[in-house]
């Protein structure tokens, strides 16, 4: 009996050891993880500046924050806490690649430093003294999320990680990313390294305009050369090649940020960026991304709101142009038009398109002089009492004011007309 008891305890000890071993090595498969990070670090450790929810539908998402961003109109289609400051993990490398692509010769070969080679987390597998081109480093950065590649790129671009981070922050300010701050090229957890889902989408939209960036993040498999020896890489983006329309862009994971995924997807004319941040598992980030993408393409379509506003204006002008009076004007002819919209085409829910209505407010009693481009009214488009677009009614021609000579001329003209009529009458 005593022997069986000790045998039972021994089995329990072995089982506990296996469980602890497996749980301690789960993060080995992460695409970006610092083994020295405190595993208890929480996503919401950063102070929240804004919290919003721009959607009216509950998709039961696991992500702490997310956004669907329309690339054509630059509008948010769906959002959950999209303006909250959060850690971003390896999605940081979108900015890293952007800075490098704009500043470096991609064909240049560099030598890997000891610091770069010893960088932890996900790796390309670089060693001190390795020779590799900047282009191959970019593939290693974006496909297998190499932190060693990130540091190597930072050092060859700016001399150090610190100086490269300064370049990243300069670019962020240039792009208007006022709620983003960068302290590294790889995104390992740091209290002052953060962004928002919305600003990450804006950054991604900008980055994808670079053809080389778009080519790299849209590549599923690629072979790089290190010291003349080929090495095959596979993209960590689980949606690339597996979901209709997906053409990039970046995965991310740290203990502080949890699972993150930025996805670019285009179907037909509609082109979107989906960002999910702070998912508990890789499966959640995948499913949340799919939910958001499928929801968007199923429920939204582009509407040329400028065209609708123009049609409404032209109908109004036909009915009202002769009612417009202009006092003190030398020429009473007035030409009207509407100002152009910054975003003439917008994504709109299909089942609400027929609910779009318009209101027009214009001043029909004018006084000269009137400058070309002067605003005399506006048109609002709204849906269910919510304003969705507006434009100004403007005067397209210059209308001058009469001066004393004009009045004198008109006086004699009228006097002459009276005399002529009187003479003809006699």
Give the residue numbers annotated as catalytic, written as ranges: 90, 93, 145
Three-state secondary structure call for residue 139: helix
Which residues, listed in sequence order, are joined to residue 394 by a DSSP beta bridge? Answer: 337, 375
Q: How far is it, in rounded angstroms, from Cα 197 to Cα 199? A: 6
Report yes or no: 168 and 182 within 8 Å, Cβ to Cβ.
yes
Q: How far is it, in rounded angstroms, from Cα 187 to Cα 147? A: 8
Q: How far is it, in rounded angstroms, from Cα 193 to Cα 160? A: 17
Report yes or no: 110 and 193 within 8 Å, Cβ to Cβ.
no
Q: How far is it, in rounded angstroms, from Cα 334 to Cα 394? A: 10
Q: How far is it, in rounded angstroms, from Cα 195 to Cα 198? A: 8
Pairing of strands 365-367, 325-327: parallel
Pairing of strands 365-367, 386-395: unpaired
Q: How far is it, in rounded angstroms, from Cα 16 to Cα 21? A: 8
Report yes or no: 271 and 248 within 8 Å, Cβ to Cβ.
no
Q: Which residue reads 């605003």 in tokens?
A: 375
Residues sharing a CB contact under 8 Å with residue 79, sequence separation 6 or more, in sequence order? 52, 53, 54, 55, 66, 67, 68, 197, 198
The residue among 352, 347, 346, 342 whose CA lies nearest residue 386 is: 352
Report yes or no: 252 and 261 within 8 Å, Cβ to Cβ.
yes
Report yes or no: 280 and 261 within 8 Å, Cβ to Cβ.
no
Write out the two tokens for 139.
């593939």
Report yes or no: 345 and 377 within 8 Å, Cβ to Cβ.
no
In our burial notation (b when 16+ CB lie closer than 10 A, e otherwise), range 288-322 reads: bbbbbbebbbebbeebebbebbbebbeebbeeeee
Q: How far is it, in rounded angstroms, from Cα 233 to Cα 62? A: 30
Three-state secondary structure call for residue 16: helix
């Amino acid at each position: 009996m005593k022997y069986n008891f000790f045998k039972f305890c021994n089995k329990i000890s072995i089982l506990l050891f296996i469980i602890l071993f497996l749980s301690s090595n789960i993060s080995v498969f992460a695409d970006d993880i610092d083994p020295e990070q405190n595993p208890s670090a929480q996503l919401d450790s950063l102070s929240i500046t804004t919290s919003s929810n721009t959607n009216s539908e509950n998709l039961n998402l696991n992500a702490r924050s997310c956004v669907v961003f329309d690339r054509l109109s630059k509008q948010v289609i769906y959002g959950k806490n999209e303006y909250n400051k959060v850690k971003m993990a390896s999605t940081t490398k979108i900015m890293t690649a952007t800075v490098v692509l704009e500043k470096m010769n991609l064909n240049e070969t560099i030598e890997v430093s000891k610091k770069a080679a010893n960088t932890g987390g996900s790796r390309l597998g670089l060693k001190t003294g390795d020779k590799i081109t900047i282009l191959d480093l970019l593939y290693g950065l974006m496909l297998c999320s190499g932190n060693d590649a990130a540091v190597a790129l930072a050092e060859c671009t700016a001399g150090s990680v610190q100086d490269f981070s300064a370049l990243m922050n300069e670019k962020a300010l240039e792009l208007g990313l006022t709620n983003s701050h960068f302290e590294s090229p790889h995104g390992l957890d740091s209290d002052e390294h953060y962004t928002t889902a919305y600003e990450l989408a804006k950054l991604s939209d900008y980055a994808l305009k670079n053809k080389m960036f778009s080519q790299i993040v849209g590549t599923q498999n690629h072979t790089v050369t290190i010291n003349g020896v080929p090495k095959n890489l596979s993209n960590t983006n689980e949606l690339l090649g597996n979901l209709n329309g997906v053409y990039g862009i970046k995965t991310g994971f740290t203990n502080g940020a949890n699972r993150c995924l930025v996805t670019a997807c285009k179907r037909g004319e509609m082109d979107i960026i989906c960002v999910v941040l702070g998912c508990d598992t890789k499966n959640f980030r995948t499913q949340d991304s799919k939910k958001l993408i499928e929801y968007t393409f199923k429920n939204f379509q582009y509407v040329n709101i400028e065209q609708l506003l123009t049609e409404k204006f032209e109908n109004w002008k036909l009915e009202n142009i002769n009612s417009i009076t202009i006092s003190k004007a030398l020429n009473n002819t007035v030409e009207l038009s509407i100002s152009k919209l910054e975003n003439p085409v917008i994504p709109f829910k299909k089942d609400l398109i027929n609910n779009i209505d318009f209101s027009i407010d214009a001043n029909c009693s004018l006084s000269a002089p009137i400058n070309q481009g002067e605003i005399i009214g506006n048109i609002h488009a709204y849906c269910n009492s919510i304003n969705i677009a507006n434009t100004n009614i403007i005067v397209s021609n210059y209308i001058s004011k009469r001066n004393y000579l004009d009045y004198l001329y008109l006086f004699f003209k009228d006097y002459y007309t009276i005399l002529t009529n009187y003479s003809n009458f006699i």
